[in-house]
Amino acid sequence: MAFQKPTGTQDLLPGTVETWQTVEQKARDLSRRFNYKEIRTPIFEQTELFKRGVGETTDVVEKEMYTFLDRGERSMTLRPEGTAGVVRAYVENKLYGEPDISKLYYIGPMFRYERPQAGRQRQFHQFGVEAFGATDPSIDAEVIALGYLFMKEVGLSGVRVEINSIGNADVRASYRQTLLDFLMPMKETLCKDCQSRMERNPLRVLDCKVDQDKFGGAPSILDSLDEECTTHFTKVKQHLDAMGVEYEVNSRLVRGLDYYTHTAFEYKAQGIGAIDTIGGGGRYNGLVSAIGGPDQPGIGFGIGMERIALLLEKQGVNANNQPPLDIYLIALGEQAEDEVTKLLFNLRTAGVVAEKDYQCRKMKAQMKSADRMQARFAAILGDDELARGEIALKDLATGEQRFVKLEELAQAVKQG
């Protein structure tokens, strides 16, 4: 029986993986420009961390976690998202004790047992950032802007930024009641999902795609914000304006995870079937203390790499910026073969992307390989050339051929 990959996972093969490498490189490059440092945390953590961090009543914790008992009978879970683990590491390593705030980023696999569809997998990858230690609204705007610039620089168009404020715990408690008063009379007419959300997390009801048309007159959370929350939100918008980051305020935007306070935001774009969210995040001022750390605020985002890759493909953006092969070496004769081994190693040492034949094929087949690999040059070494200390260098685009000294080959390829 032949094996197949698990449902909801992907093999990233050569030809596709180059796009991923470019996108990841962009994430690293941008994080560096914004002065975010990389953090790598374990792919599995104690189950309890996610229950407390992400929230017991969220879909993620209730239905989607890959949880198992290890051989020591401890309950472990493959991380369904990045924030909880980063917060745990921030607390455990006492990063809060440092004089400057902690600005961190990560790229890696996450796991959720969801029903797979385009842009939704069981193993997926996120580029995420988390900034700890500042309540200043300029950091909210900075995080939003980083994700916005990332999408722009990878070459995506039509990405919208939606922002909202979901206030603090008091604001949400009072809004929750106002919203329930509005929803109660229509409860029986709402879908099953909405009805269960009404009990668990009424704020998420407004997110429902099925019943959207019934919520026209729903109260807005922005009207429930107190002065402090309103001021914070106003300043976030001012900072975004200052950077020229375009956004829309969506007062119905509530995120699916429990830890958010104040700013919540999403990056959206059309093009992946029914899914339009490609990333999201927000502020989480109570999370660090909820998992046993000091009372430190935080804010961050997670962007789905599969969704970025799908959109790039959909929009016809060629994000693969890897140069093709520089040179393909062809040896004619036994003596030349030894010399090619040496030449190839020297070229590679000098930074040239170089390849040769390993299957003892005829010269014609080797030339075809060079073409398939999109080599810029082919270089042919026969015994005659070897005796003269030269090699025939052929430019495959123009067909032009010249002889260069063996020791000058790397230089010639780099220049030409």
Instruction: Give the binding site for ligand HAM (CB under 6 A).
Output: 81-83, 112, 114, 119-121, 124, 126, 128, 130, 256-257, 277-282, 300-304, 306-307
Min separation Cβ 334 and ligand HAM, Å? 54
Cβ proximity of 287 and 259 under 8 Å: yes
Of 143 and 344, which has the nearer Cβ to ligand HAM?
A: 143
CA distance 367 to 132: 56
Residue 12, judged by CB atoms within 10 A of its CB (0-12, 13-18, 19+), counts as middle
Of 63 and 368, which has the nearer Cβ to ligand HAM?
A: 63
Min separation Cβ 47 and ligand HAM, Å? 17
Cβ proximity of 39 and 86 under 8 Å: yes
Residue 211, judged by CB atoms within 10 A of its CB (0-12, 13-18, 19+), counts as middle
Which residue sits closest to ligand HAM, CB atoms considered? Answer: 304
Residues 6 or more apart from 91 whose CB is under 8 A from it? 288, 291, 292, 293, 294
Min separation Cβ 274 and ligand HAM, Å? 13
Find where tokens 């063996």 sit: 406
Cβ proximity of 118 and 272 under 8 Å: yes
Residue 200 token pair = 């668990």
Min separation Cβ 211 and ligand HAM, Å? 21
Min separation Cβ 17 and ligand HAM, Å? 17
Min separation Cβ 165 and ligand HAM, Å? 15
Of 278 and 386, which has the nearer Cβ to ligand HAM?
A: 278
CA atoms within a 13 Å half-sphere pointing along the CA-CB vector of 63: 6
Count Cβ neighbours within 10 Å for each residue of 95-110 and write b for 16 or more, e otherwise.
bbeeeebbbbbbbeeb
Min separation Cβ 193 and ligand HAM, Å? 17
SS3 of 189, please?
A: helix
Residue 30 token pair = 């941008």
Of 120 and 172, which has the nearer Cβ to ligand HAM?
A: 120
CA distance 183 to 197: 11
End-to-end CA distance of the chain: 51
Min separation Cβ 301 and ligand HAM, Å? 5
Of 12 and 353, which has the nearer Cβ to ligand HAM?
A: 12
Min separation Cβ 210 and ligand HAM, Å? 20
Of 145 and 406, which has the nearer Cβ to ligand HAM?
A: 145
Of 130 and 258, which has the nearer Cβ to ligand HAM?
A: 130
Cβ proximity of 176 and 202 under 8 Å: yes
Best CA proximity match to 64, nearest among 109, 106, 116: 116
Of 194 and 278, which has the nearer Cβ to ligand HAM?
A: 278
Of 123 and 174, which has the nearer Cβ to ligand HAM?
A: 123
Residue 273, judged by CB atoms within 10 A of its CB (0-12, 13-18, 19+), counts as exposed
Chain centre distance of CA 55: 23
Cβ proximity of 336 and 51 under 8 Å: no
Of 55 and 202, which has the nearer Cβ to ligand HAM?
A: 55
Min separation Cβ 293 and ligand HAM, Å? 15
